[in-house]
Amino acid sequence: MSEFKKGVIFALLAYLCWGLFPLFWKQLTHVPSMEILAARVIWAFVFTWLYLVLRKQSKPLWQDVKQLWQQKTAFWQLGIASFVISLNWFTYIWAVNHNHIVQTSLGYYINPILSILFGVIFFKERLTSAQKLATVIAISAVLLLAIYYGELPWIALILAFSFATYGVLKKKIRLDATRGLVIETFFVLPIALSYYIYLFVQGDAVFLHSDVKTSLLLMLGGILTAIPLILFAMGAQRAPLYVVGFIQYLSPTITLMLGVLIYQEPFSKIQFIAFGLVWLAIVIFLISMYRQFTRKKLMM
């Protein structure tokens, strides 16, 4: 099998995992979202660190830490990024377990377009005419939903802005995805552990105080955090950027279908029109990205 095909398969598996996440978090609706987040941070750190130890990657991990410490700006940027992605995780878990799966899918549909805007703002990147049009259409969709809901779709916007901000903070930090996850979770690990100690002292912890299945699921959340990241890293190394960029829309599409078809969340005509505008923006955006990629290849 060619490296390209392997890359596509790895990317598909990664986004399939992310798209199916609501099925997993729905098993933990009886657990407070903050405890789920704390467990996710702790067990993601534990299992990813063990994975690196088994692969004899402890030395490169320590070298990454030392290199980051020597570059203070990058070190603290990664620290802020870890808190930003924690906000993203919490929002997603809370939204899924409070029947807002459709809004989470919207957030991840508009995230790539928002990331382009951030590139313009923070890195002086230029938008093509098609990308400007896609951005205007996406903003129109958000405004339409704001009118429909009577307020801005906050869940979708928090997810999109937090993930785009996370991307900006990590843009110039070159780290292996798995080792990076260990370092990122380490930044918030003390808070997660302190929160769990508080829960145990107060007698409010669900972990180890409920059924075995719940405790195992809370631990499994850490593994499921690491697996798609590892798969994504393996895919991104082998497949062209525009291919991975196209595949990423598999995740919110699966999530949207789960929300509407499995969990029976409302999906009105206005929402359909708004999502239709977002899908149109994505098509324009992808065509523009593909053209840019092919032009660069021809110039090389």
* CA–CA dist 128, 75 (Å, integer): 33
Cβ–Cβ under 8 Å, residues 103 and 95: yes
Q: What does pTM read for this prediction? A: 0.89
List pLDDT tens digits, range 260-273: 999 999 999 999 99
- Write down the pLDDT at residue 119: 77
- Write down the pLDDT at residue 298: 62
Spatial neighbors of 80 by CB under 8 A, at least 6 apart, are 169
- Write down the pLDDT at residue 241: 62
State the DSSP string of the chain. Answer: --HHHHHHHHHHHHHHHHHHHHHHHGGGTTS-HHHHHHHHHHHHHHHHHHHHHHTT-HHHHHHHHHHHHHSHHHHHHHHHHHHHHHHHHHHHHHHHHTT-HHHHHHHHHHHHHHHHHHHHHHH-----HHHHHHHHHHHHHHHHHHHHHTS--HHHHHHHHHHHHHHHHHTT----HHHHHHHHHHHHHHHHHHHHHHHHHHT---TTTS-HHHHHHHHHHHHHHHHHHHHHHHHHHHS-HHHHHHHTTHHHHHHHHIIIIIS-----HHHHHHHHHHHHHHHHHHHHHHHHHHHHHHH-
- Write down the pLDDT at residue 43: 95
List pLDDT tens digits, range 12-69: 998 999 999 999 999 999 999 999 999 999 999 999 999 899 988 889 999 999 988 8
- Write down the pLDDT at residue 299: 62
Q: Which residues of the chain have pLDDT under 70?
A: 240-242, 245, 293, 296-300
